[in-house]
Structures are given as C-alpha cells and as structure tokens.
Amino acid sequence: MLSQSQIEAIAQAVLQELKQNPSSGHETAGTSMVPDEIGDPSEKESMLDLTSPEAKATPLLDHVEDREGLERMMGRTTARIGVGNCGPRLKTKTMLTLRADHAAARDAVFMDVSPALLDSLGLFTVDTACADKNQFLTRPDLGRIFPEESLDMIRSRCEKNVDVQIYASDGLSSTAVEANLANILPVIMDGLKAGGLKVGTPFFVRNGRVAAMDQISETLNATVTCVLLGERPGLATAESMSAYIAYKATMGMPEARRTVVSNIHSKGIPAVEAGAYIVDVIGKILEAKASGVELKK
C-alpha cells in the first residue's frame, strides 16, 4: 500500500506533466480528434446519442445465443430488453439512457408549444383557468374549464353549430404536439371537408385537460368535438398524441362517452395515417349519433 507521501508525490508529478503538456491525456499535441477519425468502433459507439434509435438497438447482453433474433425483437418494441446487467445492477449505459429518457419526459411536460408552430398552422391560443404550468399540474380541475375571457374569444373567432369542431391542446406533452400536429391536423381538416361536413375553426388550448372539450362543445354547439392532445410521456417516447372524440359532449358527462385514438407517434400510428383513420371514426360517430361505449352498441 502506498503511503500518503508517495500518493502526494505521484499527484504532484501528474499535475506537473499536465501543465507542461495539457493535451497529453487523450490526444497528441497539435491534433484534434473528431468522430470520423476514431478508428476503434467501440469509441464511435460511445459517442452516439444514448436516446437515438441506433444506440438503443444495440444489445448489451454479454452472452447471446441468437443475436440476430434478439436484434429483430428489439427492433419491434420500445420495451427495454437485451439490456444485460453488471452483477445485481443495471449497466452504466442502461442507467444513463433511462436518465436521458426521463429528462425528455420531464421536458415534454414542462415546455410550451412553440408559437411558430401554431402560427404556421393559423391557430389562435386560448387559456384554461390555470394561471401557469405548475397550477395545471397540481389542479387538474382548472385545466377542464375556461375563464369568461377565453370563452368570449372562442365565441368571437369560431363558427358555431358545426358538424365537427377540431382543436389541439398541449395536455401533458408539448413535445407530442410539436412532433405530430403539423402532419395530422391538415389531413383531418381536408378529409372532413372532402366528406361534405361543416368543420369549425381550429385553435389551440394551453394548459388543457381532455374534459375541456366538453365546455367547448357546449359553447359552440358542435355535433362532434375532437381534441388532439399530448399524452403523459413515458420512458419509451415523449411524442405520443391521442385524439379524444365525443358526440354532443356536455360538461360532467361520463368518460365512457369518449372515443379515443391513441399512440399517435413515429413508432406507433404515424400522424398522417392516424389523421385519415380519425376522419373515418368521426364519420361513423355522426352516422351512429353516438361515441365511446355507446358507439359499439
């Protein structure tokens, strides 16, 4: 075992060497190392974004009998399989990936949808009764209702007595709105209008819960109301959107009266495909004059 004086001598020698040649740790003085110049594949792999599909597609098991089979399985699910272990603990890469995905989920909840996206789609914004994001998260009831000034804006800027009223809301994932809204909203609007339906003016609700659609339905007297809403993010994806659709929604109605199209994201139902499907679902709801569990009768 080294004595304290020997340890201090070694530390001093290392510090002195670093002062004389600061680049000696990993590079030759006067050179710079970029990813394309790395020869060792393991070094290239270590520089991948841990949340990227390429990084997540790499099995971390030490001994695999059928590696190709495992890779096929990993390519068909976002579940964390083939991650291996180090004794009783997760491997470092697995733990870092979990933390990175958790950070993305938190960002999805707390960030706001960019005004640039809403402007590009021609959507105006109204607020629920929540004063800010913190109140939205702690008071779900306030995310289901609107102050009078918001209702006045909806009344003044939206057409009333329409067949279908479409709007978007951040819900619990602004990331989902950013990822999907520009692709899904035009498909739904064009599809409904092509079917000869009277479609209301789309807009955006900030800090909105699902049931906010009920007050919107009553305010505009819409036959069918549909909200495109960001879902609570998980560690598999923070980009999942759902469409909640209701026939003649009223405040206080049971949740069973809502029809839901979920898992709208790049690894689930692509936004364009989901938009076309939602148009078909709305057509069936109008024909049956029912939604939710009543639609199946």
Q: What is the mean pLDDT of residues 100-115?
A: 87
CA-nearest of 92, 91, 99, 100 to 52 is 100
Q: Looking at residue 232, what DSSP letter applies?
A: P
Comparing 84 with 149, which gets the higher pLDDT?
149
Q: What is the mean pLDDT of residues 263-268?
A: 91
Residue 233 lies in a domain: yes
Number of residues assigned to the chain = 297
What would the pLDDT profile of 15-60 be if each residue is shown by its tens digit?
777 766 655 444 444 444 444 444 454 555 556 677 777 777 788 8
Residue 224 lies in a domain: yes
Kindly report the CATH number assigned to the domain that includes residue 148.
3.40.50.11240
Instruction: Tell me what pLDDT residue 8 has.
Output: 73
CA 45 to chain centre: 26
Residue 55 lies in a domain: no
Residue type at 120 in one-letter notation? S
Residue 60 lies in a domain: no
Instruction: Tell me what pLDDT residue 108 has.
Output: 83
**Residue 9 vs residues 3, 15, 179, 272: alpha-carbon distances, Å:** 10, 10, 56, 66
What would the pLDDT profile of 114-149 be if each residue is shown by its tens digit?
999 999 999 999 999 999 999 999 999 999 999 999
Q: Supply the angle between the helices 148-157 and 212-220 in degrees, to the nearest 10.
A: 50
Which tokens hold the place of 287? 């024909």
Q: Do residues 238 and 106 make contact, with C-beta atoms less than 8 angstroms apart?
A: no
Residue 171 lies in a domain: yes
- Residue 76's pLDDT band (boundaries 50, 70, 90)? confident
Residue 82 lies in a domain: no
230: helix, strand or coil: strand
User: Which structural domain range is residue 270 located in?
Assistant: 112-296
Residue 42 lies in a domain: no
Domain count along the chain: 1
